[in-house]
Structure 1
Amino acid sequence: MVPGTASAKQEPDGAAIERVVSAYAEKVGYPGIAVTITKGNKVLYAGGYGHDSAGAAVTVTTPMPIASASKSFTALAVMQLVEAGEVTLESPVRDYLPDFRIADPRGAQITVRELLNQTSGITDGTFPEKSLPQPDSLADAVTRARSANLSAEPGTEHRYTNTNYHLAARLVEVVAGEPFADYLRRHIFEPIGMGATTTINQTPRDLPAAVRKGYVYAYGASIPAVEPKRFVNGSDGVVTSASDMAKWLIMQSNAGVAANGTRLVSATSITAMHTSSDPRWTYGMGWDTDQKGRVNHNGVWFTYTADALLLPGGYGIAVIGNSGIGLANEGITPLADELATLVTGGEPSSGAPVRLIVDLTLAGLTLLSLLLGIRNLRRARIWADRFATRPSWRLALRLLPRLTPLALLVALPDLLGRLVGGGRDITFIQLCYYSIALVSWTAVAAVMNASVLTTRVVALSQLRRLAGDAPATDASPQPVAG
């Protein structure tokens, strides 16, 4: 990794940072990671680790998506319009988006603030945005949202969903009178020197040519993969670099003023974005908070992950990795936490390679399911001989549990979204990105159990048919000739 420029007093130890990043990359399975650390208006450290899927070294200028960390950019764009007097946070969204309609009549009450706070009442459960046809533009995203329902009265519950930020980005377009990407470029990216940063509508179609495939993970191997088709603008569509993210962190840490002296928003707006408006949740506007006074937003794609973290002491940390969200890897946030511990004088803990352990465990279960299935297939006739005389209803009760793995496979996206994803929507294809090992085990178990059920039914039918076709034995006494 290559140290960035910094004052001697503030610069963290480059070798120590490299050890932390390298250990994390090896433990979790990240082929490439870019890091930047700032304090005040200085870049203390910037470096790249590993390689991209084309074999090139990852550097501080490598373009990579930051996924949902993009929401902080959308929130700032809205706050600029608020400061310009063109938007009021407490006004209904419909005041600025006349075409905004949802299935629930309470949607007319949703305010701009509630979009940014993720308290609109729209959820992945009431509007499964990943499972639905993906729009081509922000205008199409507003039209698509007409089928949305609400899980609660607007403003009463925090429920994270990308849809809120699709709507917020379209609001910026309509109020500003220009495409969202152009607005971000002219009012945010260029003024503070983020010249390599852009935002896109849809993956993988709109990704810049310089953005390489990210990776999915399976059984200890990182596999290059194309990000599945998703609409991302406003919610998770920003593509940037560690070098550009340093400028973003500096502006956020310095009350809205960039390192080049440009003010994007007031200190009051920065504080508002960094602060939850209700003690029932921790989310502000485009940023989350914790009890330690830290402000952050992570980002997860199925082939990339990122995190932006602001510490009370003025440090800013951004990490971007080219491996996606997965079972036992819910993002690269733990690395940001380890670096935060390091720069504030603590000792980071590397921990165990949980991702590998989970996948190897699933590999063992897959092999066990395969072997047991083969064994049971070979013993189908023995099973039929043993149970041929049992009543059919009892045999059905014995055999029906064999369909449980198949039912689990079908229900797995919804089940995983509820248990692990906090109710987030996920399609079956995206589930394969999330955990090849989990899908493989479930699929093998489903196929083997369905095959065992089928072969046992066939063997039982054949045995009973043969028994029915056998000639009856006449045991009655025969007359004796006299």
Structure 2
Amino acid sequence: MILPLGALALLVSSFTADASYPGVAVAITRGDEVVAVRGFGHDSSGAPVTEHTKMAIASVSKAFTALAVRQLADAGEIDLDRPVFDSRVTPRQLLAHTSGISDRALPEKSLAQPDSPAQAVDRARDVLREARPDGRFRYTNTNYHLAARLVEEASGEEFNSYLDKHVFGPLGMTETVAITVTPRDLPPDYRKGHGYAYGFSVPLTEPDRFVAGSDGIVTTAADMAKWLAAQPELAPRDGMGWQEDPQGRLRHSGIWFTGTAGQLLTGSGYGIAVLSNSGVTLGNEGTYALENAIADLLDGKAPPPPSSYRLGIDLVLAALTVLSLGLCVRALRRPRRFARAWQVLRIVPLGLLLASPAVLGLLHGGGRDITFFQLAHYSLPLVVWLGVSSVMNISVAVVRWRR
């Protein structure tokens, strides 16, 4: 099929405009042939995004880690079904997220961040001893932090160096690097991604996080095209590093707080990669919908119209902030007598504010870990609303108690 590049440009542009993505890059392959590689929009410096613009692919990196483990297993250096790290957990279970480890057991973002895969193993020692693999899927970056250390132990090479020598190099991915800690290790030609609030995209620095093995690859659309074109030969096995969607297609999404990405292998033989320099927020859970729309276009179907709720959610939160402020100012100016016991309810917004990282992790991530600082990256309007409501309600409660 000859891809209608004009239709692709119109599709991507409509999605980026609707979801307020400043910049997007797309790579499309069919079999081992590259069909299209294009950039859209701009980076945080204002320069146009091209096929050579470096962007984070976040958890799409897990597919590369899984390939590294597979290479060493094929060479006889790793036994996928033999427990590792003095635990009951096998490499296969780590790669499939069935190790028994979860963010609840080890809150990987809230704890002190390691500086190497070896330190990540040390941090997880107690959890590893207690882990009981039961076949249940529990997604956590920790599994792939540990997988990175497996690569180091089996190869005798530092993890990022192994990827460069045995994965990126052979595939010709000369614009790709793997890092250990954000933002410290980001390459000098990487431009900041963006946060989003109240309709505005703002350049932001990615929070300090350990990302080796889990979500530490920075690459370009041009290099992702080479990666996708190699998949027929690499033939992803057992779904390790990939996930099956409801249509039976292999894919994986990636989210940073300042960027999102995704890759998709369709049943019709296409490979699709989308890289965006806009972070995950309420109403923007990544590039999943855009990948699906591109797949529809390639298969001759009419893609659904874009439908981002990003701005709508922030406007609702802004209205709630103004309403909370107005009601509390009115209550301060026209105090009425209430039973003191009822004033205890004024601390509810503060309780919600303090509990919001845990609640959000349960509602949107199945128990995923997030810090309060990262929550502010994820949804500043939510934090502002709860913060304003907390301060104003406590002020009203104090005034009425004193009166």
Is TM-score (shorter-chain normalized) higher than 0.5? Answer: yes
150-159 vs 73-82, which moves further: 150-159
Q: Secondary structure of 2:124's partner?
A: helix
Q: Which residue of 1 aligns with 2:257?
A: 302
2:197, 2:380 within 8 Å by CA — same for their partners in 1? yes
Number of the residue aligned with 2:55: 64
Shift of 1:151: 8.5
The aligned residue for residue 471 of structure 1 is none
Q: Report deviation, 1:165.
A: 0.2
**In 1, Cα distance between equivalents of 2:2 and 2:52:** 20
Quote the residue 2:75 is aligned against: 84
- Counterpart for residue 420 of structure 1: 364
Contact 1:122 1:150 in 2 (8 A): no
Task: Determine which of 334, 341, 345 is the counterpart of 2:300.
Answer: 345
Q: Which runs of 5+ in 2 are unaligned?
A: none
On the 8 A contact 2:110/2:371 being kept in 1, the answer is yes
Instruction: Determine the structure 1 residue equivalent to 2:171.
Output: 192
* Distance in 2 between residues matched to 1:181 and 1:291, nearest whole Å: 33
Aligned ranges for residues 132-171 of structure 1 at < 5 Å? 132-148=111-127, 153-171=132-150
| CA deviation string 1:23-76 (max 9, x = no partner) | 111111100000011001211111100111011110000011100000000000
User: Which residue number corresponds to residue 221 of structure 2?
Assistant: 242
- 2:286 corresponds to which residue? 331
CA deviation vs aligned residue, 1:158-185 (integer Å, no higher than 9, x gap): 1000000000011101110011111111
Give the alignment's TM-score, normalised by structure 1: 0.82
Residue 358 (1) aligns with residue 313 (2): yes
The total of aligned residue pairs comes to 403
Report if the CA contact (8 A) 2:198-2:318 is conserved: yes
Deviation (angstroms), 1:333: 1.1
2:205 is equivalent to residue 215 of structure 1: no
Residues 415-439 of structure 1 show CA distances to partners (whole Å, capped at 9, x for unaligned) of 0000111110000000000001111
1 or 2 for the larger relative contact order (CA 8 Å, sep ≥6)? 2
1:250-293 deviations in Å (ceiling 9; x for gaps): 111x132xxxxxxxxxx5xx333xxxxxxxxxxx3100012423
Q: What is the CA-CA distance between 1:146 and the residue it aligns to?
A: 1.9
Q: 1:291 to 1:369 in 2, by over 3 A?
A: closer
* C-alpha RMSD over aligned residues: 1.3
Q: How does 1:77-116 map to 2 (within 5 A)?
A: 77-94=68-85, 108-116=87-95
Which residue is equivalent to 2:322? 367
1:435 — aligned with what?
379
The match for 2:245 is 290
What is the aligned partner in structure 2 of residue 255 from structure 1?
233
Contact preservation (8 Å) 2:89, 2:131: no
Distance of aligned partners of 1:291 and 1:456 in 2 relative to their CA distance in 1, 3 Å threshold: closer
Residue 396 (structure 1) aligns with: 340
Structure 2 counterpart of 1:357, which letter?
G
**Matched residue type, 2:237:** T
Structure 2 contact 176–217 (Cα < 8 Å) conserved: yes
Q: Distance in 1 between matches of 2:233 and 2:267?
A: 13
User: 2 CA distance for matches of 1:149 and 1:426?
Assistant: 21
C-alpha distance in structure 1 between counterparts of 2:103 and 2:183, whole Å = 22
What does the per-residue CA deviation read over 1:286-312, in whole Å, with 9 as the maximum and x for residues that have no partner? Answer: 000124231000000000000010011
CA distance in 1, matches of 2:170, 2:128: 39
The residue that corresponds to 2:395 in the other structure is: 451
Whole-Å separation in 2 of the counterparts to 1:160 and 1:436: 25
The residue aligned with 2:274 is 319
**Paired amino acid for 1:226:** T
TM-aligned CA deviation for residue 352 of structure 1: 3.2
1:224 is aligned to 2:203: yes
In structure 2, the partner of 1:276 is none
Q: Percent identity?
A: 53
Amino acid at match of 1:329: N
- Displacement, 1:150? 8.1
Give 1 or 2 for the bigger CA radius of gyration: 1
SS of aligned partner of 1:148: helix
| Cα drift, residue 152 of structure 1 | 6.6
The residue aligned with 2:42 is: 51
Q: Does 1:271 align with 2:249?
A: no
Q: Does 1:18 align with 2:9?
A: yes
State how far apart, in whole Å, the 2-side matches of 1:431 and 1:424 are: 12
- In 2, Cα distance between equivalents of 1:285 and 1:355: 32
